[in-house]
Amino acid sequence: MAQLDTREKLGILADAAKYDASCASSGTSKRNSVGGKGIGSTEGMGICHAYAPDGRCISLLKILLTNSCIFDCHYCINRKSSNVRRARFTAQEVVNLTLAFYKRNYIEGLFLSSGIIASSNYTMEQLVEVARSLREDHDFRGYIHLKTIPDADPELVQKAGLYADRVSINVELPTAPGLKRLAPEKSVGQIEGAMAGMKGAIEDGRDAKKKYKSAPSFAPAGQSTQMIVGADAATDSDIVAKASTLYDRFSLRRVYYSAFSPIPDASAVLPLQRPPLMREHRLYQSDWLMRFYGFKPDEVVSAAGDDGMLPLDIDPKLAWALKFREYFPVDVNKATKEQLLRVPGLGTKAVSRILSSRRFRTFTLDDVARLTVSVAKIRPFIVTSDWRPTLLTDKADLKRWIKPEKSQMELFAA
């Protein structure tokens, strides 16, 4: 095979990374390059430096070290039996590219993952070497996210945490049978074992930091994971339940979802239809409900239909509200924060603004409109000094609303 130049490799190894849903560069400790020998800073939320035509943000240089792999996971374009074009970066090439892009303000840092070559430990060593070189040789203070290899030596995986802001290990599939079928060389025990190990290391790191100021920060942006949606029989309810256990057990910062894409030369096991992107979107929304709106996992699950799937035509918060109408309407002038957060269309910001303004005024519908994006969506669920919805309080209508017809739902979803 002819030698590939760096640009050709970049094309191949970025293309291979495009199925990874995670791109964020947020949630790490604040630092900058003043007084240092290198470049880089992290402040506030991560910055999206560009957006691709698929609507996704480009924040990090997201590439694979290599797309060669000794494993044969069916959902993965890089699996052994795929005839995709292969390439491999040296650690040095990745370091140089990261620095060159960063200096031009194209990126916030690096998100590096890899197919498994030679052995899991060898691959993990290479990933760690890239991060080490960036931090130690170049005093790079931007963001680094390393995807760790599940069955690599725990000591190596923990070394990754010393250099990286965030580490992640993919759970791959929401069900054990799905994993068995699609990733025969991986196992739930191995993946979750690695997550548990990382959780311990992150906590130890935090304790050390409390005791000694000089202790290095260990994966300050925590750990995250990704699962593939739509490749096994898991319903949305199963997935929400799985995600919430993962959050609880391993203190994850984020669970990412990746809907199936048609993949070039995909394994025969994959469904070929266009990916159900809306399903992915609804799962992210349900994730938000749990993380920011005080919904419990079983409440989100109760918004799903009998088939365990969240409705695709309305968001899960609205679905919940339509199912549990007895909570509405909510009086904007009297309700608690928890109650206001349940109103479809009222975001966390709007709720806090309402709470702080309420001491000064009695809210009219216009006042609410000023603080929210679309008062039309909210109106049926709230009471203000000059507004009381009739639809929801009217008994006959209530019954009809319990099973809303399509046209009515669209009215609300607008």
Binders of another protein in range 301-320 (CB under 8 A): 307-308
Near ligand SF4 by CB under 6 A, which window of 69-77, 249-257, 261-269, 350-358?
Answer: 69-77
CA distances from 267 to 16, 73, 248, 341 (A): 15, 9, 33, 44
Is it true that the peptide bond before 150 is cis, omega within 30 degrees of 0?
A: no
Cα torsion 136, 141, 147, 153: sign? positive
Strand 50-51 relative to strand 57-58, pairing: antiparallel
Q: How far is the CB of 146 from another protein (least distance, A)?
A: 18
Does 69 bind ligand SF4 (CB under 6 A)? Our answer is: yes
Candidates 160, 182, 321, 351; binder of another protein (CB under 8 A) is 182
Name residue 378's amino acid. I
Per-position x/- string for 220-259, each x denoting binding to another protein as judged by CB under 8 A, each - no binding: ------------xx-x------------------------
Does 227 bind ligand SF4 (CB under 6 A)? Our answer is: no
What span, in angstroms and rounded, lies between the C-alpha atoms of 207 and 202? Answer: 9
Q: Which does 57 bind (CB under 5 to 8 A by kind): ligand SF4, another protein, none?
A: another protein
User: Is the CB of 15 or the CB of 331 nearer to ligand SF4?
Assistant: 15
Per-position x/- string for 104-143, each x denoting binding to another protein as judged by CB under 8 A, each - no binding: xxx-------------------------------------
Residue 135 · residue 31 · CB < 8 Å:
no
Three-state secondary structure call for residue 172: strand
Sequence-separated (6 or more) residues with CB below 8 Å from residue 323: 302, 303, 402
Candidates 10, 13, 63, 73; binder of ligand SF4 (CB under 6 A) is 73
Q: How far is the CB of 46 from another protein (least distance, A)?
A: 10
Count, residues near ligand SF4 per rule CB under 6 A? 9
* Neighbouring C-beta atoms of residue 163, cutoff 10 Å: 23
Near ligand SF4 by CB under 6 A, which window of 67-75, 220-228, 328-336, 343-351?
Answer: 67-75
What span, in angstroms and rounded, lies between the C-alpha atoms of 384 and 119? Answer: 64
Strand partners, 50: 58
Candidates 78, 123, 168, 223; binder of ligand SF4 (CB under 6 A) is 78
Which alpha helices (DSSP H) does 231-363 contain, by range? 236-250, 277-292, 297-302, 316-323, 337-341, 348-357
Q: Enumerate residues 316-375 that contact another protein by CB under 8 A.
A: 353-354, 356-357, 359-361, 363, 367, 370-371
What span, in angstroms and rounded, lies between the C-alpha atoms of 176 and 195? Answer: 16
Does 53 bind another protein (CB under 8 A)? Our answer is: yes
Q: Which residues bind ligand SF4 (CB under 6 A)?
A: 69, 71-73, 76, 78-79, 115-116
